[in-house]
Structure 1
Amino acid sequence: MATIRARKKADGTVSYTAQIRLKKKGVIVYQEAQTFARKQAAQAWAKRRETELAEPGAIERAKRQGLTVRHMIERYLLEAEKARPLGESKRRTLGAIQRSPLGDVVDSDISQKVLVDYALWRMSPEGGEVKPQTAGNDLAHLGSVMSLARAAWGYEVNALAMKDARLVLKQFGYNMRSRERDRRPTLAELDLVLEHFFEMLQRRPTVIHMPKVVAFAIYSTRRMDEIARIRWQDLDEHRQAVKVRDMKNPGQKIGNDVWCHLPDEAWQIVQSMPKECDVIFPYNTDSIGTAWARACRLMGIDGLHFHDLRHEGVSRLFEMDWDIPRVASVSGHRDWNSMRRYTHLRGRGDRYKDWPWLELIVKSQVSLGGRVVNKGA
């Protein structure tokens, strides 16, 4: 039975503390207390909690110490990386959530209100004053973590919390869906970043050969993580094609291997890489992303993402009058709707015809330094 004790406070008001103690063979196995301003409220709470605690397994659940969002994400990053490398953007976003106030929230306390408050905080000056689409991206990445944590590891996560949070934010007038980007690099911007990268290579020949990575991203239309995974054994010399392992796809990721044609320029860049490693471009995606972001910042280039190079590559092929099936044979897209968001044409023809950087990039020597490993080791 619960006991209710009245306590007079310094301001003269009275509070009521309801305390529940459950014993088994004379030993207290569980206790819980709540304080209320009214006695009736304390009595109602005690009656409700006693009924709830009488259910099978209720005491064990009540005694359970919640696991925080921080631990949930930590486990997700560890387990997901075993299956396939996560994109740099997703890992960076989840890391930021871990360090935010949301990282301290325990799984059973994740409600639609908690998620809405986090999104509103992210859009405030204190949280970075991000756009609604960025806050929505945070929720999307966290949603994948919550789904796996609930289904695979038994975390006490409300299955409807994320859906309800998005509904509330929509009712508040926030469009959390990512907008289609139409950003493409200009040739002048590429001149700036490539000049920067070649200067870096002159000072330190063993740094990432970003000129080859950048040019290959444009000509092959490959994503950053795909570039870093390509092995020499993934090339088909006869078809001039590459097997893109675990290509990103909403319905299937792991095991979604797709053969993609490499245009002549991309093939030249691949063949210019030293065959000293199993991987053609033996560089870490975090390092590639950091190098790209630093170059854009130093050169005063605003809002240009590495992924925009894929956008540039796909749009370039359409500007060259390639039809949809032929472009898809390079990009790996399965349908026009997915490809359409990458296509923003700027005239006709190949603006990379006689691009002076290509010959320089192909002929440039690569020093892998400590990245060299024995093939097959």
Structure 2
Amino acid sequence: MGTITSRKKKDGSVSHTAQIRIMRNGVRVYQESQTFDRKPAAKAWMKKRETELAEPGALERAARAGATLRQMIDQYLEQFEKVRPLGKTKRATLRAIAESWLGDVMDADLTSQKLVEYAGWRASEEGGGVMPQTIGNDLSHLGAVMAVARPAWGYDVDPHAMADARRVLRRMGLHSKSRERDRRPELDELEKLLEHFQEMQQRRPSSINMLKVIGFALFSTRRQDEITRIRWADLDEEHRRVMVRDMKNPGQKIGNNVWCHLPDEAWAILQSMPRGCDEIFPYNSSSISAAWTRACKFLGIEDLRFHDLRHEGVSRLFEMGWDIPRVASVSGHRDWNSLRRYTHLKQNVDRYQGWDWVQVIVDAPVELGGRVKGG
């Protein structure tokens, strides 16, 4: 089935080309060759490949054209978006990986060594000089593609490549989980922001009412996207709770609907919103983010993210002496272990007790303008 051809090169050395041909009914159905500097190495490779190709289905796999990682990512994004919309971060990360040199790697060549090489490249200046947490996120999103590539589409992907690569990268210090932020806003920072948005509201009454949004985010512990999705129809007036649809969850997002209790301050802010739209806070999530970022920059407030309001809200509940189940009924956490990092906080202290801004936020007028149904 195989032959070895030796050829003398110009520099006087000899190369040995091992070639495998498979014939069926007088027709060549498969051919493969590889060149070596040493004849024993050529013989060893040929023997190994002949054994591999004799395995059931091996010849069909070897003869297939294969696919690049870019093609696998494109197929993943196209098919999974139809049944389970992906987050914008995951989508953007996979697009970036597809456009990198790793996107040109064939499925059969996507080994743990290639993944380790990619991680090293990402850590280098050429690859962006990113932190191990970012590399970990890259591999996490890529791992989702590789996990379904073989069983769903028949691509020749090593099922152990990602796990092996992660073990190596952890030893090298190039792979780690995202660090938990512990940034909490100071009261004077919140007051500066609220004063800033109060002035803006007076100049442009129909703009996003950031006073209401910030206050509700703080006291309800709701995420930015969740705030803009909740609807009046999802409100349980009797039990003072709201259905948060598609709540973020590591294992599930779409269809992960959770009833969340609303503390008194959050309930009062919500009830102060006009009922002119289906959504309680009928604003664009990206616009909220942009307004927050611009305000922080203008006011010189550093490293404060809108999401830190959720961390602040959860911290406050623990400081008020609430236990994990009660806090989880507000935050929506299903895994109570993620709340254990808050239990060290000093209890029976509410830094917002008697805070004048609570009533200011509740009393702030709201003009929905063109957002009103039929408006």
**TM-score range relative to shorter protein:** 0.7 to 0.9
| Equivalent residue pairs, number | 374
Distance 1:9 1:204, change over 3 A: farther
Q: Is the 8 A contact 2:212 2:361 kept in 1?
A: no
| Structure 1: distance between partners of 2:356 and 2:145 | 44
User: Superposition pairs for residues 262-301 of structure 1, below 5 Å?
Assistant: 262-273=262-273, 275-283=275-283, 285=285, 288-289=288-289, 292-293=292-293, 295-296=295-296, 299-301=299-301
Tell me the distance in 2 between the aligned counterparts of 1:71 and 1:188.
Answer: 51
Q: In structure 1, how many angstroms separate the alpha carbons of the residues matched to 2:297 and 2:361? A: 24
Cα pair 1:181 1:341 within 8 Å, conserved: no
Moved more, 132-141 or 191-200: 191-200
What per-residue deviation string (whole Å, max 9, x for no partner) do you get for residues 11-30 of structure 1? 33332333333344444333
Distance 2:309 2:128 in 1: 26
Identify the range of structure 1 (74-83 vs 135-144) with the bigger mean alpha-carbon deviation: 74-83
Q: State the partner residue of 1:333.
A: 333
In structure 1, the partner of 2:17 is 17
> Is 1:45–2:56 an aligned residue pair?
no
Cα pair distance change 1:73/1:180, threshold 3 Å: same
Residues 232 and 279 in structure 2, CA contact (< 8 A), matched pair in contact too: yes
Structure 1-normalised TM-score? Answer: 0.81
Identity of aligned residues (%): 64
Counterpart code for 1:305: R
* Cα 1:353/1:146, change in 2 over 3 Å: farther
Summarize deviations over 1:86-121 as a string: whole Å, max 9, x none.
Answer: 344333433333333333323332222222222222
Match of 1:165 in 2: 165
State the distance in 1 between where 2:199 and 2:73 align: 39
- CA RMSD between the two structures: 3.6
- Secondary structure of the 1:341 match is helix
Answer whether contact 2:85 2:254 (CA < 8 A) is retained.
Answer: no
Q: In structure 2, do the counterparts of structure 1 residues 104 and 312 end up closer, same or farther at CA, with 3 Å as the change threshold?
A: farther
Q: Deviations over 1:190-238 (max 9, x none)?
A: 4555566667778887765555433322221112333343222211122
Q: 1:226-241 maps to which residues of 2 (within 5 A)? A: 226-241=226-241
Deviations 1:329-358 (A, max 9, x none): 211224542213356748822337434376
Partners of 2:21 and 2:30 within 8 A in 1? yes
Residue-by-residue CA offset, 1:306-341 (whole Å, 9 max, x unaligned): 322210111122233334333222112245422133
Q: Distance in 2 between matches of 1:62 and 1:21?
A: 12
Residue 277 and residue 115 in structure 1: after superposition, are their counterparts in 2 closer, same or farther (change >3 A)?
A: farther
Q: Distance in 2 between matches of 1:361 and 1:71?
A: 52
The letter of the residue matching 1:115 is L
* Residues 269/10 of structure 1: CA separation in 2 closer, same or farther (3 Å cut): farther
Structure 2 segments unaligned to the other structure (5+ residues):
none
Which deviates more from structure 2 when the two are superposed, residues 319-328 or residues 214-223? 319-328
**2-side partners of 1:202 and 1:33: how far apart?**
76
How many angstroms does 1:60 deviate by? 2.1
SS in 2 for 1:145: helix
Letter in 2 for 1:55: E
1:229-249 deviations in Å (ceiling 9; x for gaps): 322221112222101224344
Letter in 1 for 2:360: E
Structure 1 residue 96 and structure 2 residue 130: aligned? Answer: no
**Partner letter of residue 41 of structure 2?**
A
SS at match of 2:126: helix
* SS in structure 2 at match of 1:126: coil
1:351 aligned partner: 352
Q: Is the 8 A contact 1:122 1:128 kept in 2?
A: yes
Q: Distance in 2 between matches of 1:198 and 1:7?
A: 83
Are the aligned partners of 2:119 and 2:174 in contact in 1 as well (CA < 8 Å)? no
**2:58 matched to 1:58?**
yes
Asked if structure 1 preserves the Cα contact closer than 8 Å seen for 2:93 and 2:141, the reply is yes
Question: Equivalent residues in 2 for 1:45-124 (5 A)?
Answer: 45-124=45-124
Report what 2:303 is aligned to: 303
Counterpart of 1:140 in structure 2 is 140
Judged with a 3 Å threshold, the aligned counterparts in structure 2 of structure 1 residues 69 and 281 are, in CA distance, closer, same or farther, namely farther
Aligned position for 2:2:
2
Q: Secondary structure at the match of 1:86?
A: coil
**C-alpha separation in 2, matches of 1:352 and 1:127:** 49
User: Is 2:268–2:362's contact at 8 Å kept on the other side of the alignment?
Assistant: no
The residue identity in structure 2 corresponding to 1:114 is K
Alignment partner of 1:22: what SS?
strand
Q: Cα deviations across residues 117-157 of structure 1 (Å, max 9, x unaligned)?
A: 22222222222222222322222232233223344343333
Alpha carbons of structure 1 residues 244 and 83: separation in structure 2 relative to 1, 3 Å: farther
**SS state at 1:155 partner:** coil
- How far off is 1:175 after superposition? 6.1
Aligned residue number for residue 222 of structure 1:
222
Give the Cα–Cα distance (whole angstroms) in 1 for the partners of residues 309 and 326 of structure 2: 19
Are the counterparts in 2 of residues 180 and 341 from structure 1 also a CA contact under 8 Å? no
SS at match of 1:19: strand
